[in-house]
Chains A and B, each alone.
Chain A
Amino acid sequence: MSDRNPGCELDLGWLNSIHVNVPAIRLRADVLQSRRSVKREWQAAWLLRAITCIDLTTLGGDDTASNVARLCAKAAHPLSSDVLLALGFEEDDNRITTAAVCLYPSRVADAVSCLKKMGMADKIPVASVATGFPSGQYMLKTRLEEIRMAVTSGATEIDVVIDRSLVVTHQWELLYQEIQQMKEACGPKTHMKTILAVGELGSLTNVYKASLVAMMAGSDFIKTSTGKEAVNATLPVGVVMCRAIRNYYQRVGYKVNFIILSYAVLSLIV
């Protein structure tokens, strides 16, 4: 499997065959919670794994170099050494870091220099939000420019938000083209994560279809939400997006990564 999602042609027939039944999804979400469980060593190992999947994020209007530095320190050492030792890892085990740090574009340079000083620059990716985060209600030209500038500043992952109006009005071609252009703007080395902002998509059918379009257009990750919408990641949404990813994998052969923005979902595996 290649490192990057190659994407595929927009397949409207596929989109049109999608049906989502919300009550059935809800029931599925309930069953999932009661049928699987991890305890003891398994619980510890799974929680550790969860830590390594976290995009440690600060997206405040008041972010400065100092709190970004603290964020980077936490990302590099999310657990205290005694806990890490007790769990059987080395004190400075490189395996236990968060998946990335995530910030606004203008703070990317701070994070990059900070991680460099800690010698973690090639271990922890710096992710920048872009494309008119969080609403996406800006001109395409500036949205794309944001991506390029963030990449220039040293970001190795870009979290783009989609233009939700295109989903609500079912302009799938336009959505596909925009995401493709965003992917292009990211360049060959930068991972692109596409934030769907599910709380603003109107229906789970739209969530499923937007997930598929984002993957067809080449997103390496799809992500539930920005954290700024009224409703973010819920388990039913998670079920729908996982099914879209599985469906895409079965047809295209690439397993897109999935990011859930929620503490509640994390707590499920505890």
Chain B
Amino acid sequence: MAGTTDRQKSCAIIEIFKSMEYGPVSDSSSIAKAWLKDRKLGPFIDGNFKETSSSEYDVFRPCTEEVLTKVGLTSEDDISMAVTSSLKAADTWTNLSGHERACHIYSLARHMQKHATLLAQMESLNRGVQSCDPREFDVPAVVRYLYYYAGWAQLSSSSELRDWKPVGVVAGIMSAVSPLITLAQIVAPALAAGNTVCLKPPKGSPLPALLFANIAMQAGLPPGVINVLPGGSEVGRLLVTHIGVSKLMFSGSTGLGRLIRKQTAGLGIHLTLLLSGGKSSMMVFDSADLDSSVDGAVHAAWFNQGQVPWSVGRLLVQESIWHDFVPKLRACVDRLRVGEAFDHLADVGSPITKDIITSLAVATSVAQKNGLEVYEAQIPPGLSSETFFPPTLVIGGFADSNLTVDDDILLPLVEVVPFRTAKEAIALANNSRYGMAASVWTENTSLALEVAYHLQVGTVWINSHGTVDAGVPFGGWKQSGIGVVGGKEGLLEYMQYKGVRVSMTTDPVQYKYFGMTPDVSVCCPPSLNQQTNKGSVPVVDRTYKLYYGGAYKRPDGNMSHAVLDGTGKIHAIVADGSRKDVRNAVEAAAKAQPAWRKIGAHVRSQIIYNAAEKLQSRREDFISHLTTLYGKSDKEDASKELDACMSLLFHWAASCDKKQFAAGDVSPNSSVVVNVCREPLGIIGIVQAPVQSSTGPWALLGFISLFAPAVCYGNTVVVIADSMHPTPALEFCEVLHSSDFPAGVVNVLTGDSEALLSTLANHQEVAGLWAPQTTATEAKYIEWASSVNLKRIWVDKLPCFTSFEQVTDFRELFELNSTRTKAVWMPCGEIFAN
């Protein structure tokens, strides 16, 4: 018998010797299966898997009928138990020394390293991704994240973190498209910062997270520091709205991110969202290494089944190389092997969820209908087209004017689109609601860096695509997310600045009707009269207009209202701005922003200094204006305010051209240069509030406290002036007007603040909205409405508004809220020998 087998083998060898074919090579899943065998899995609370669960459900291998195991579903009681356990654990965990926490996280990293194979197999088994993906990418990255943040735990008592403290219990929500790496992106920084974590893995693939928790226990992590709650969206909803949760990190689709933003409005929870709507662009210029860019594109397009947020979805190719590039690309796609997750030779496997296959078919048929070429690789015989998809190219244009890729579903599809010039490539890449990442392929460094400057994304890879490192902040712009994972900024996501209080309320807000009821009490102001010896005579009306686009403008509705001074007398008449005025102001701000950013920090700094000079020259005017407005009898207080304003303007002018806290070089090794820039958000909406001094409100200082840092970092602003004291800001616009501030950089509106706010909060082009000191109801509304385009909102109570001595203390916090991260990766090296 054995002899026959040997002979068969020998024959086979001669045949293979002739044909030179590849043979089957399978990776193992045995360790993962052994771990699952006879193991009771369910909610992992306080260091144990919950033994009895009222309801269990089957966990399948994706796209198959194969049941891997049963997992107990998390109940509402379990969630309460878990959060209680996390809160309890946080008491001790937070009070451990930085070194002690570092030792724990270090041990966690060591244990993950020891169980690397098991973790990788579990991820592949339960998420259906190719076995090499977690083995080569996710698991090493998980380990790296843990080591990196063990380092931050060690440094948590150092001076650079002196002003930051942990937030408490972090809820981490993962979705079906969150790869294994997300686990570490949530857990490592949260624990390092001194928080405890309740994790909700996706319902269909909870096993890697449960395994992670189990290994964490072996590593000696105290019970309750990590709890894992398997279940669906209901478990997610109950967890994120739980009163004990102080911070939320979510990784998943933009649609769900938006829903969570709404669900958590008013709860006083800060969000970090890593959203997978849309896909990344890759642009190939005629100065690129074509063969490498073809290989790079194909690898980055179908890594992890093409279903991670940074997968390449749009491949922009310069027209001059189109005819060289496209045949190479087709040939490369032909060579891709489709196969099972544990087939060692397969490059692409089945999708994470089956519905992708139907969506892909719909998308390609639309593309065909639009006259585009659809090019598909082959699915090998023996594999079902119901569970496997062919790697697909749509060549020549966007499949359905944005719909195919610019959508919430991550289709494993690449649109190949020609462009003519760098300018056009940038415009095509930026024409998206999303902004996770992009790559630029060219050997021309000057071109690469210029394109990187213009791309509206959180990560730009030059001549590479998809590299991540724990030390480099990674996060999306626009509707691809809020906040970052990685780096020191990733740590600060899980910390609260000293003295800052979150705004929360349980009061219901009628979101639909917010700002819809006009405030009639302030309409139709009586004319201002003065008594003369001939009786009462109307004084010459002093009616302030709105200030936007570099000029004072009459309000669209032609309405105005009175402003009272501190003694209750009418002080001035101000314009009643409406929705139309907000839209005009935003348009002006949008027009001004690119140039304002481009002129650079030095010039911006000079312009702010110039405004300070002009303020100084009008000092006496302002003092008497403020004194009257506040109804004070002497000018001492206003004089103090002016001093503070001057100092604050100088402070921001000085900060403008200095190195930013969170920017700089974070290269993980010598073969790549990674530069992190902090770039302006764009347009920031500001709800002005006065600084409360011991003697009363200081409105001008409040205005400068917010607009100056925002413009200092290159943003343009639309300010809703304080409804009680709108005139100082309007007066100050004259100062801005006479200094060198370009039109549209600062815009100030007055009027019914709720109506203005609702327009601003719902505006798609407004990238950030600051309303510190606003009412809890307004804050709740802002949080809810910001979900429309996932604005960066800032509605915390800031100590600098209650104590004017502190106005210059919060530079780092203002920088973080004025800017967002762009990490530019540039692999380097030309020397190949010796």
Contacts and interface: CB of A to CB of B under 8 A. Distances in A.
Interface of A: 17, 19-28, 31, 34-42, 44-46, 48-49, 86-89, 95, 198-199, 203-204, 230-231, 234, 236-237, 243, 246-247, 250
Contacts of A19: 287-290, 443
Given A27-B464, A39-B25, A88 B829 contact: no
B472 to A, nearest CB: 16
B833 A24 contact: no
B672 interface: yes
B466 to A, nearest CB: 10
B289 A88 contact: no
B13 A23 contact: no
Contacts of A37: 25, 344-345
Nearest to B444: A19
Interface centre among B11, B15, B25 (most CB of A within 10 A): B25
Contacts of A204: 830, 832
A88 B7 contact: yes
Contacts of A27: 296, 464, 827
B386 interface: no
Interface in B813-829: 827-829
A40 B463 CA distance: 37
Interface string B234-273: 0000000000000000000000000000000000000000
A28 B345 contact: no
B260 to A, nearest CB: 36
A250 B294 CA distance: 15
Contacts of B287: 19
B20 interface: yes
B833 A231 contact: yes
Contact of B345 (A24, A35, A250): A35
Contact of A35 (B14, B132, B296, B833): B132
Nearest to A201: B833
B160 interface: no
Interface string B635-672: 00000000000000000000000000000000000011
Given A42-B21, A45-B20, 14 more contacts: A22-B831, A23-B672, A23-B827, A24-B292, A24-B463, A25-B832, A35-B345, A37-B25, A38-B25, A42-B16, A86-B10, A87-B14, A199-B834, A231-B833
Given A35-B347, A39-B25, A45 B13 contact: yes
A50 to B, nearest CB: 11
B58 interface: no
A237 B296 contact: no
B10 A87 contact: yes
B568 interface: no
A20 B295 CA distance: 13
Nearest to A44: B13
A45 B388 CA distance: 31
A48 B17 contact: yes
B464 A23 contact: yes
A45 B17 contact: yes
10 contacts: A19-B288, A21-B288, A23-B463, A35-B345, A37-B345, A39-B23, A41-B23, A42-B23, A45-B12, A88-B10
B11 A20 contact: no
A36 B21 CA distance: 12
B319 to A, nearest CB: 15
Contacts of A199: 833-834
Contacts of A41: 9, 12-13, 16, 23
A218 B7 CA distance: 44
B290 A49 contact: no
B14 A89 contact: yes
B65 interface: no
B22 interface: yes
Nearest to A24: B292
A230 B9 CA distance: 42
A28 B294 CA distance: 11
A87 B347 contact: no
The winner among B286, B443, B830, B832 for most chain A CB atoms within 10 A is: B832
B443 A21 contact: yes
Contacts of B832: 22, 25, 203-204, 234, 236-237
Contact of B22 (A28, A42, A236): A42
A88 B347 contact: no
B127 interface: no
Contacts of A48: 13, 17
Q: Which 3 A-B pairs have the closest CB atoms?
A: A88-B10, A23-B827, A42-B23
A34 B464 contact: no
Contacts of B20: 45-46, 49
A243 B25 contact: no
A48 B18 CA distance: 10
B291 interface: yes
B327 interface: yes
B77 interface: no
